[in-house]
Amino acid sequence: MIDLRSDTVTKPTEEMRKASYEAEVGDDVYGEDPTVLKLEEAAAEILGKEAALFVTSGTQGNQIAVLTHTTPGNEILLEEESHIFYYESGAASAFAGVQTRTIKGERGAMDPLAIAAAIRGEDQHFPETGLICLENTHNRAGGAILPLENMKGIYEIAQKSNIPVHVDGARLFNAVANAPYSMNDFTQYCDTVQVCLSKGLGAPVGSIIAGDKDFIKKARKWRKRLGGGLRQVGVIAAPGFIALTKMRERLSEDHEKAIELQAGLANTKGLEISNTVDTNIVVVNVKDLNVTSDQFVSALKEHGILAVTFGPTLVRFVTHYDVTMEQIHEVVSTVNKMISK
């Protein structure tokens, strides 16, 4: 099978497996795991923040951020198809007791003026705006990169109202790989950020949240409350360290594969590319084939290709480390043959 369902399906490299086996470990709840400490220190430096915390997943990292920044009864502002709103099982309301207020974005980017208008004024009828959440890159916008100026505009508005900004940066390293900016250029326009180690970077598990030292101290307690306090966790932090320090530079290779896939599928009769391919995600509309996305995905599977539905007629393909350029060409050839029958 050629698996293009997600970059979460990547397997750890041999170096990661060896690092896991040889990792120096200790009890992380006591702050005694040297491998975790090394990972968190490196992450904080790379992300341009005072401190960082290793968590089990991107969803856990995002929800810890919501819990740490807000109080029950607050309202959080976020894009209408953001991961925190769309794919995290209503956790913000279930755990933090906050309500979500969604704003329609353009390729995942919310208008700063819309954010300013949505911030609640002082009135007993209204919840307080407790947090603004951004997503970069934006999954449901087809891996779109939020422009730096957009992040800056929203952050400046947030600062004027004393509202923190959190970035779900699960694929933020993909944004940096394709932009003439550094990571710090992006993270300067947020108070906290979450990045995944287990997507394009290839680690088997884990994410990082980063912010100032006071935030991380509070976040650590929320991680414990959520059952995320782990023991000899260096065995999974060690692959995460390799992912963070050695796998970032190769993300542009995944983008090249996505561009190649886009070009090939764009020339296939009956298919329409639905997104501008900024990074490693290609979204295809199959409506002109008179089939649903479920039917198309099932047909792909029968031909040895795995993808996911992204709407009634939309299909998402995600390139990653474990898919070669030769396999991308095979996918294009197979889809063409499949449709021409």
Domain ranges of the chain: 10-246, 250-340
pLDDT, tens digit, for every residue of 227-273? 999 999 999 999 999 999 999 999 999 999 999 999 999 999 999 99
pLDDT, tens digit, for every residue of 169-178? 999 999 999 7
Confidence of residue 6 (pLDDT cuts 50, 70, 90): very high
With a pLDDT cut of 70, the percent of the chain lying above it is: 100
Confidence of residue 41 (pLDDT cuts 50, 70, 90): very high
Would you state the pLDDT for residue 179?
80
pLDDT, tens digit, for every residue of 266-314? 999 999 999 999 999 999 999 999 999 999 999 999 999 999 999 999 9
Would you state the pLDDT for residue 198?
96
pLDDT, tens digit, for every residue of 164-203? 999 999 999 999 997 889 999 999 999 999 999 999 999 9
Would you state the pLDDT for residue 21?
98
How much is the average pLDDT of 103-116?
A: 98
Would you state the pLDDT for residue 145?
97
Per-residue HEC secondary structure of the chain comes to CEECCCHHHCCCCHHHHHHHHHCCCCCHHHCCCHHHHHHHHHHHHHHCCCEEEEECCHHHHHHHHHHHHCCCCCEEEEECCCHHHHCCCCHHHHHHCCEEEEECCECCECCHHHHHHHCCCCCCCCCCEEEEEEECCECCCCCECCCHHHHHHHHHHHHHCCCCEEEECCCHHHHHHCCCCCHHHHHCCCCEEEEECCCCCCCCCCEEEEECHHHHHHHHHHHHHCCCCCCCCHHHHHHHHHHHHHCCCCHHHHHHHHHHHHHHHHCCCCCEECCCCCCCEEEEECHHHCCCHHHHHHHHHHCCEECEECCCCEEEEECCCCCCHHHHHHHHHHHHHHHHC
Would you state the pLDDT for residue 13?
97
Q: Which CATH fold topology does 10-246 show?
A: Aspartate Aminotransferase; domain 2 (3.40.640)
Confidence of residue 87 (pLDDT cuts 50, 70, 90): very high
CATH number of 250-340: 3.90.1150.10
Does residue 36 have a pLDDT over 80?
Answer: yes
Would you state the pLDDT for residue 178?
77
Does residue 334 have a pLDDT over 90?
Answer: yes
pLDDT, tens digit, for every residue of 117-158? 999 999 999 999 999 999 999 999 999 999 999 999 999 999
Does residue 76 have a pLDDT over 90?
Answer: yes
